[in-house]
Amino acid sequence: MNSSKNFPIWHPFTQHAVLPDMVHITGGEGAYLTTKDGRRIFDGVSSWWVVTHGHCHPKIINAIKEQAGRLDQVIFAGHTHDPAEQLAERLLELTPSTLNHVFFSDSGSTSVEVALKMALGYWQNIGNKDRTRIIVLENGYHGDTIGTMSVGERGVYNAAYEPLMFDVTSIPFPAPNDDDATLAALEKACKAGDVAAFIVEPLVLGAGGMLMYSPDTLGQMKAVCEAHDVLFIADEVMTGWGRTGSMFACEIAGIEPDIACYSKGITGGSLPLAVTLCRSEIFQAHYSTDRSKTFFHSSSYTANPIACAAAVANLEIWRDEPVLDRIAGLAGMQHEWLVRIGDDERFENTRQCGTITAMDLKVRDEGYLSNVGPKLYAFFQERNLLLRPLGNTIYVLPPYCTTQADLDNVYGAITDAAEAFA
Ligand SMILES: *Cc1c(COP(=O)(O)O)cnc(C)c1O
């Protein structure tokens, strides 16, 4: 084995003993990355689900350049600036009418931590101190910080940290065409009376395996929470910004959350930024001349002006370009290929939500640590495709500028992979 001094950089979610060589990237344009050794790689995972319109969209890059020359960073406690003001105004126009306040942070995980703190702070400040429990959906993923791991699925990737995590109530993931057990468990948990909030990824559970459930079930879960006065937190960190076919997944179910988290595609995938939006009641519960009721949360780079300017540019692209048409076109092309994959008996559980498709390769050892995962990853790398299977689950989550030829190439390789590994 290599000595550890050969790895000055410790990469995320990377087992260096299995994957010693990093792919060295020098550029990005549209749906493609270029490597130091001169290859062009198709970015089939939108660089971990963040890139929406393609790499280095000129409007976003120009906005970053302009803002960088004007104001790089300023403390956001007691101060404000144009990019944050513009972004907040536009976000409140676009998002459900129940959401009236924007809290900035810098990653999806922190936007979820903020959501959880808002929920507990709300109940605490209105004098209902017993409401502290969080309900979660089985197989969920909300980040890798201690709090977000606590509300996510427990497994090999967080077992070592279990002693640091808090207790939650988990309800079963809905079975296909039968959500009775899920809704009954949610109802039972809500009735206990000690619940602060239910947190859920609407329609698609990303890192949990690209698992999908129906808008109807999402709507029913919202109704149960509403009936029991339980705050409904929508983690749209991955599903937001067009991924599921609408700008936000909650729109498809016709629901309006009490708290919502958005990140990943908020800057088109160019710079880290996140927001947590909430209802007036939650802000009001913290609004007081009693300073102990302050919302005690910040990070150094809260609402970084350059990141906010990138997000404003992203929203201008949404306003000025036919983004939803592009998404519908991509979803249609994805659908055609998925139908063909569905006829191939080496795959099962073919599924789609908007621009995302997923399929499970039939192998003997299934699951996240399935040995086929790293083999598939290497197989696609050799074909200049960036696909990062979750165990034996292959998913395709590409930028919206992806063409038919790109997809033909991707699914051709997926079919070849089945030949090699199924
Ligand atoms: C990626 C993700 C997060 C965490 O976001 P980071 O920016 O990686 O911290 C949270 N929730 C969901 C649903 C995600 O997909």
Show the tokens assigned to 93: 């126009």
CA separation, residue 260 to residues 51, 120, 172, 233 (Å): 20, 15, 22, 6
3-state class percentages of the chain: helix first, strand second, coil last, to nearest 5: 40, 20, 40
Considering the domain architecture, whether residues 135 and 238 belong to the same structural domain is answered as yes
Considering the domain architecture, whether residues 161 and 92 belong to the same structural domain is answered as yes
Range of the domain at 291: 61-320
What is the three-class DSSP state of 125?
Answer: helix
Considering the domain architecture, whether residues 299 and 387 belong to the same structural domain is answered as no
Q: Report which ligand 1 atom has the smallest distance to the Cα of 48.
A: 1
Per-residue three-class SS string for 156-223: CCCHHHHHHCCCCEEECCCECCECHHHHHHHHHHHHCCCEEEEEECCCEECCCCCEECCHHHHHHHHH
CA separation, residue 258 to residues 42, 110, 206, 214 (Å): 38, 17, 21, 20
> How far, in Å, is the centroid of ligand 1 from the Cα of 108?
4
Considering the domain architecture, whether residues 274 and 358 belong to the same structural domain is answered as no
Domain termination site, one of 320, 353, 375: 320
Residue in 253, 177, 238, 230 with CA at minimum distance from that of residue 206: 238
Which run of H or E residues covers position 277? strand 274-278
Considering the domain architecture, whether residues 300 and 355 belong to the same structural domain is answered as no
CA 73 to chain centre: 26
Considering the domain architecture, whether residues 170 and 287 belong to the same structural domain is answered as yes
Show the tokens assigned to 246: 């609408």
Compute the distance between CA of residue 192 and CA of residue 170 in angstroms, rounded to an integer: 14
Considering the domain architecture, whether residues 183 and 113 belong to the same structural domain is answered as yes
- 381 touches 23 (CB < 8 A): yes
Compute the distance between CA of residue 63 and CA of residue 317 in angstroms, rounded to an integer: 12
> How far, in Å, is the centroid of ligand 1 from the Cα of 62?
26
pLDDT at site 191:
97
Mutate to test the pocket of ligand 1, among 104, 237, 299 (most ligand atoms within 8 A of CB): 237
Considering the domain architecture, whether residues 257 and 139 belong to the same structural domain is answered as yes
Domain CATH number, residue 38 = 3.90.1150.10
Q: Where are the beta strands (DSSP E) in 53-166?
A: 101-105, 133-137
Considering the domain architecture, whether residues 238 and 148 belong to the same structural domain is answered as yes
> How far, in Å, is the centroid of ligand 1 from the Cα of 405?
30
Q: Report which ligand 1 atom has the smallest distance to the Cα of 264.
A: 7
Q: Report which ligand 1 atom has the smallest distance to the Cα of 140.
A: 13
What is the three-class DSSP state of 134?
Answer: strand
Compute the distance between CA of residue 202 and CA of residue 353 in angstroms, rounded to an integer: 11
HSE, side-chain direction, 13 A CA sphere, residue 145? 12
Show the tokens assigned to 157: 């990737």
Considering the domain architecture, whether residues 102 and 248 belong to the same structural domain is answered as yes
Compute the distance between CA of residue 317 and CA of residue 93 in angstroms, rounded to an integer: 15
- 106 touches 265 (CB < 8 A): no
Compute the distance between CA of residue 146 and CA of residue 161 in angstroms, rounded to an integer: 8
88: CB partners within 8 A, 6+ apart: 102
List of the chain residues with pLDDT < 50: 2
Considering the domain architecture, whether residues 77 and 199 belong to the same structural domain is answered as yes
Domain termination site, one of 289, 320, 351: 320
The total of structural domains in the chain comes to 2
Burial tier of 65 (Cβ tally within 10 Å: 0-12, 13-18, 19+): exposed
Which DSSP letter does residue 292 get? G
Q: Report which ligand 1 atom has the smallest distance to the Cα of 274.
A: 7
Q: Report which ligand 1 atom has the smallest distance to the Cα of 201.
A: 13
> How far, in Å, is the centroid of ligand 1 from the Cα of 354?
19
- 197 touches 119 (CB < 8 A): yes
- Tell whether pTM > 0.95: yes
> How far, in Å, is the centroid of ligand 1 from the Cα of 48?
10
Pairing of strands 101-105, 274-278: antiparallel
Nearest CA to ligand 1 atom 11: 142
Domain termination site, one of 320, 342, 364: 320
pLDDT at site 4:
58
pLDDT at site 20:
87
Ligand 1 binding residues, C-beta < 6 A: 107-109, 112, 141-143, 201, 206-207, 235, 237-238, 263
Compute the distance between CA of residue 329 and CA of residue 335 in angstroms, rounded to an integer: 10
Considering the domain architecture, whether residues 151 and 29 belong to the same structural domain is answered as no
30: CB partners within 8 A, 6+ apart: 54, 55, 399, 401
Domain CATH number, residue 259 = 3.40.640.10
pLDDT at site 3:
55
